[in-house]
Chains A and B, each alone.
Chain A
Amino acid sequence: MTEFRINRRDLMRRLGAGGLALSASSLLGAGAVISQEARVLRIRNDGDIRRLDPATRGGWYDETVMFAIFSGLVRYAPGEKWAIELDAAESLDDSDPLNIAFTLRPGIMFTGGYGELTAEDVKFSYERFLDPAVDAVYGSDWGALAEVEVTGKYSGIIHLSRPFAPLFTSTMPHASGLILSKAALEGSGEAVIGTDPLACSGPYQLAEWRPREMIRLTRNPGWTGPVPYYDEIQLLPIADLTSAETAFDAGDLDVTQIAVNSIPVRNPAADKLVVKPALAYTWLGMNVENETLSDIRVRRAIQQAIDVQEVVEATFGGAVTPAFGLVPPPLLGARDADLYPFDPAATKALLAEAGAEGLTLTLSFGADPDLMIAAQVIQAQLAAVGITLQIRSMDSATLTAQQQDNAGGSYKEVELFFTTFTTAPDPSWVTEWFTCSQVGVWNFQRTCSEDWDAKNAAAAEETDPAVRNQMYIELQDALEETGAYVFLYHGVNAWVAGPKVTPAYSADAQWALLRDFTGA
């Protein structure tokens, strides 16, 4: 009989061998898991989703997700130039500018069992912009739409009541051109979509939304178009660019937008740095209904007291160039000079003429580090001509609420303010906020001219690019003539990406086109 005896050394040896075997097996197991691991992209979103409805969407934070989970007839192609390509449409005939015929690719399925994407869905999606119950924020995108005629299961004709130049630049390829499921939305009993897209028609579907934490997209099994590279995309809502950049450097993000001031310190090759001129415009506005600023000579004096070149240089250190208007340079209608450039002598003369020496004014704006720098430079420039400028950096929603307080009248107290708007690649998107109907809505300068409004409407209908270009230049000239605008800069968009990612952005790099991202 063999006596079973084991000493401490044997025990340790056997435990060690067992542990080694366990470790090896777990490593092998892990290897097997790694080989089957899903391709996951982690990317910063500039905010959390709010409204995934093409007609009432919020901002880029919504649109980035919407471009991945919905299809349009056409879409923006990734790359250096603004180009469009077919998406859900198999063909599109725009030879008649008032009647655009389309044919859909058969077989695109909505998620949630809502069936195939058909011409009825296209009709429903575009005509609902005109439905008062929807109260479309972007209703003007389809303002020229007469109707969408369904000619077959997959075919139809978009009938316009008048020529509409932005149709193929900022309506159909943009989020206003995305197609929803008629059955899903009507079945929901709601007029608009919130944060639940109901039914997705794009390459991805919204798999999970953890508010303020993560938006998780997974492949849409019913998608029949080009297969996207990533199995899963995790969008992390991080508003602060510095925090996002820190997360990128820590390896918690694969891709993120970065602040303009970070551009010089990034390694362009290693960080896959992409910097593109932004379709944005930042300006200093003056409230013409404010008592102090009601005199155009005072406004003109302020216009000519500001050296925009110095403001932009101090704010961005050469990474951004000054603006000469509202329309960003890549677009038709961009200006190349100001009518009333920096002229401190003229300022002093105007102030003396208006009897407004020793003015004290307040510049209000939503908290932003770049705007804070710009404000302090302007503060110094105005001090040089005898104007005391108080800086009021505040919550942007609070400022907007005051500017929109038409009933209470507190908007009159707002004097100077900074505003930044972004735009789609068509100048009509830039100018539509400065009409009389926008006074107290988004036109916080409160400049109003029916003649200007008529010219603005005519410019949207003009299809000759040269004529249209001149019309938009004149529209901006007229705004500058009011004295209520000092155009500052358009800015740039900058992104960095990790070594395993090949990113894809819109031509201005405002949107990450998620479905076009691939591996390195």
Chain B
Amino acid sequence: MTDASLAVPRSRRPSLGQSGAILRRLASSPAGAISLGFILLLFAVAIFAPLVAPFDPIAIAPRDRMQPPSAVHWLGTDQLGRDVLSRLIFGTRTALQVALAGTGGAFLVGMCLGMVSGLGPKWIDSLLVLLNDSLKALPLILFALALVSIYGPSMVTLGVIITLSMAPGYFRVVRNQVLVLRNADYVVAAQAMGASWLRQSMTHLLPNLIGPILVLIAMDIPAVIGIESGLSFLGQGVQPPNASWGTMLSEGYAYLRQAPHIALTAGAPIVLATIAFTFFGEALRDALDPRGAGDRR
């Protein structure tokens, strides 16, 4: 016979049914549905870039430079005669690669340290909080330019910059959540039954953190796109001949009078992607916590 009173309380892990409900709530919000659709489109474009791009994005054709939009080049050509649409498509791939790698790296670093901080002894917690606050206090652009000047501009440097600048946000959220959840009945019970730190973290804590973390990731992606575009605009991010929205914007800016289509078409996806991810993050937050949605509106 099993004594129900001795059973370990279950953690509030989202079930498949709950995920479906979240998706339904997300899709029922116009902002959520439209932004989700746009984001899916961006991912599709990024994944199938070589198939959908009409031209080689790095092949130069100086004689065709700065042509306005036409039937051949739908968004015209840039200062080196490259097809703007093709560069925009491959720029989408670059933006999402950097965004996913950067936020993924920041999430992993922030989550691991946040778990250690929340579950570990007090001195480790104090040390990690101090390090985290110090890192967060660094001015982002100066920090980024310093790293670029030391290690040179590259995708790896860009990933490191984004990871280090974004990780403190994840650390703080994870640590705070862990500090709250570690006293929950199911965690205390797991501890009493001798569950290791790793098991407590992976089985009982992480599933309950995933909601706020997903919202944070969605909200951070536009910031990461902004950082990548900003550094590329300054010539310190993605290097030629690779396509990037920021690089295209920077190059288009120099020809704003002669060929405004270059800067305009490079600026548009930055704005649209930023809006889409922000709206998606807000809609996801509302979908995960429908009770708080009314209060926030």
User: Taking beta carbons and an 8 Å cutoff, which residues of A are in contact with B?
Assistant: 242, 245, 259, 261-262, 264-265, 310, 313-314, 317, 367, 369, 372-373, 375-377, 379-380, 390-395, 398
Q: Would you list 18 pairs from A and B whose C-beta atoms are within 8 A, ordered by A residue? A: A261-B79, A262-B258, A265-B257, A310-B62, A314-B62, A314-B81, A317-B66, A369-B254, A372-B235, A372-B251, A373-B80, A377-B60, A377-B80, A379-B240, A391-B239, A392-B152, A393-B153, A393-B239
The CA of A373 and the CA of B79, in the complex, are separated in Å by 8
A203 smallest CB distance to B (angstroms): 35
Residue B55, interface by CB 8 Å? no
Residue contact A377 to B149, C-beta cutoff 8 Å: no
Residue B256, interface by CB 8 Å? yes
Residue contact B62 to A259, C-beta cutoff 8 Å: no
User: Taking beta carbons and an 8 Å cutoff, which residues of B are in contact with A?
Assistant: 58-60, 62, 65-66, 79-81, 149, 152-153, 234-236, 239-241, 250-251, 253-258
The CA of A379 and the CA of B80, in the complex, are separated in Å by 12
The CA of A373 and the CA of B254, in the complex, are separated in Å by 11
Residue contact B62 to A394, C-beta cutoff 8 Å: no
Residue contact A261 to B149, C-beta cutoff 8 Å: no
Residue contact A264 to B239, C-beta cutoff 8 Å: no
Most central of A261, A262, A313, A379 by chain B CB within 10 Å = A261
The CA of A310 and the CA of B61, in the complex, are separated in Å by 10
The CA of A317 and the CA of B254, in the complex, are separated in Å by 14
B145 smallest CB distance to A (angstroms): 9
Residue contact B235 to A393, C-beta cutoff 8 Å: yes
Residue contact B149 to A376, C-beta cutoff 8 Å: no
- B145 (CB) vs chain A CBs: closest residue: A395
Which A residues lie within 8 Å of B236 (CB)? 394
Q: Which of A261, A313, A391, A392 contacts B62 (CB 8 A)?
A: A313
Residue contact B149 to A398, C-beta cutoff 8 Å: yes
Given A373-B79, A392-B152, answer yes or no on A264-B60 (Cβ-Cβ < 8 Å).
Answer: no
B81 smallest CB distance to A (angstroms): 8
Which B residues lie within 8 Å of A376 (CB)? 60, 80, 240-241
Q: Which of A245, A259, A317, A395 contacts B65 (CB 8 A)?
A: A317
The CA of A466 and the CA of B79, in the complex, are separated in Å by 42
Residue contact B235 to A314, C-beta cutoff 8 Å: no
A152 smallest CB distance to B (angstroms): 56
Residue contact A314 to B149, C-beta cutoff 8 Å: no
Residue contact A379 to B241, C-beta cutoff 8 Å: yes
The CA of A245 and the CA of B253, in the complex, are separated in Å by 13
Given A314-B80, A375-B240, answer yes or no on A367-B235 (Cβ-Cβ < 8 Å).
Answer: yes
Residue contact B60 to A261, C-beta cutoff 8 Å: no
The CA of A375 and the CA of B235, in the complex, are separated in Å by 13
Which A residues lie within 8 Å of B257 (CB)? 242, 245, 262, 265
- A314 (CB) vs chain B CBs: closest residue: B62
Given A372-B240, A395-B149, answer yes or no on A314-B254 (Cβ-Cβ < 8 Å).
Answer: no
Residue contact A261 to B65, C-beta cutoff 8 Å: no
- A311 (CB) vs chain B CBs: closest residue: B62
Which B residues lie within 8 Å of A373 (CB)? 79-80, 251
Q: Which of B62, B152, B250 contacts A377 (CB 8 A)?
A: B62
Which B residues lie within 8 Å of A369 (CB)? 250-251, 254
B113 smallest CB distance to A (angstroms): 33
A246 smallest CB distance to B (angstroms): 8
Besides A314-B65, A314-B81, A376-B60, 13 more A-B contacts (Cβ < 8 Å) are A242-B257, A259-B254, A265-B257, A314-B79, A372-B235, A372-B251, A380-B58, A380-B59, A392-B152, A392-B153, A394-B236, A395-B149, A398-B149
Which B residues lie within 8 Å of A242 (CB)? 253-254, 256-257
- A245 (CB) vs chain B CBs: closest residue: B257
The CA of A310 and the CA of B152, in the complex, are separated in Å by 29
Which A residues lie within 8 Å of B240 (CB)? 372, 375-376, 379, 391
A420 smallest CB distance to B (angstroms): 16
The CA of A244 and the CA of B253, in the complex, are separated in Å by 13
B59 smallest CB distance to A (angstroms): 8
Residue contact B60 to A314, C-beta cutoff 8 Å: yes
The CA of A377 and the CA of B79, in the complex, are separated in Å by 11
- A362 (CB) vs chain B CBs: closest residue: B152
- B154 (CB) vs chain A CBs: closest residue: A390
The CA of A393 and the CA of B239, in the complex, are separated in Å by 8
The CA of A464 and the CA of B80, in the complex, are separated in Å by 45
B286 smallest CB distance to A (angstroms): 42
Which A residues lie within 8 Å of B253 (CB)? 242
Which A residues lie within 8 Å of B81 (CB)? 314
- B61 (CB) vs chain A CBs: closest residue: A314
8 smallest CB-CB distances across A and B, nearest first, come from A314-B62, A369-B254, A393-B235, A367-B235, A391-B240, A265-B257, A376-B240, A380-B60
- B253 (CB) vs chain A CBs: closest residue: A242
Which B residues lie within 8 Å of A265 (CB)? 257-258
- A373 (CB) vs chain B CBs: closest residue: B79
The CA of A89 and the CA of B79, in the complex, are separated in Å by 50
The CA of A461 and the CA of B277, in the complex, are separated in Å by 69
The CA of A380 and the CA of B62, in the complex, are separated in Å by 11
The CA of A143 and the CA of B243, in the complex, are separated in Å by 51
Which B residues lie within 8 Å of A375 (CB)? 240
A270 smallest CB distance to B (angstroms): 15
Which B residues lie within 8 Å of A367 (CB)? 234-235
Which B residues lie within 8 Å of A264 (CB)? 258
A423 smallest CB distance to B (angstroms): 25
The CA of A376 and the CA of B59, in the complex, are separated in Å by 10
- A364 (CB) vs chain B CBs: closest residue: B152
Which B residues lie within 8 Å of A380 (CB)? 58-60, 241
- B255 (CB) vs chain A CBs: closest residue: A261
The CA of A390 and the CA of B240, in the complex, are separated in Å by 8
The CA of A273 and the CA of B34, in the complex, are separated in Å by 49
A362 smallest CB distance to B (angstroms): 9
Which A residues lie within 8 Å of B234 (CB)? 367
- B256 (CB) vs chain A CBs: closest residue: A242
The CA of A313 and the CA of B81, in the complex, are separated in Å by 12
Most central of A262, A372, A377 by chain B CB within 10 Å = A372
Which A residues lie within 8 Å of B255 (CB)? 261
Which B residues lie within 8 Å of A317 (CB)? 65-66
B67 smallest CB distance to A (angstroms): 12
Most central of B236, B253, B255 by chain A CB within 10 Å = B255
Which B residues lie within 8 Å of A261 (CB)? 79, 254-255, 258
The CA of A367 and the CA of B62, in the complex, are separated in Å by 21
A238 smallest CB distance to B (angstroms): 15
A120 smallest CB distance to B (angstroms): 49
A398 smallest CB distance to B (angstroms): 6
The CA of A398 and the CA of B66, in the complex, are separated in Å by 32
Given A314-B65, A395-B149, answer yes or no on A390-B254 (Cβ-Cβ < 8 Å).
Answer: no
Residue contact B241 to A390, C-beta cutoff 8 Å: no
- B258 (CB) vs chain A CBs: closest residue: A265
Which A residues lie within 8 Å of B250 (CB)? 369
- B148 (CB) vs chain A CBs: closest residue: A394
- B239 (CB) vs chain A CBs: closest residue: A391
Which A residues lie within 8 Å of B256 (CB)? 242
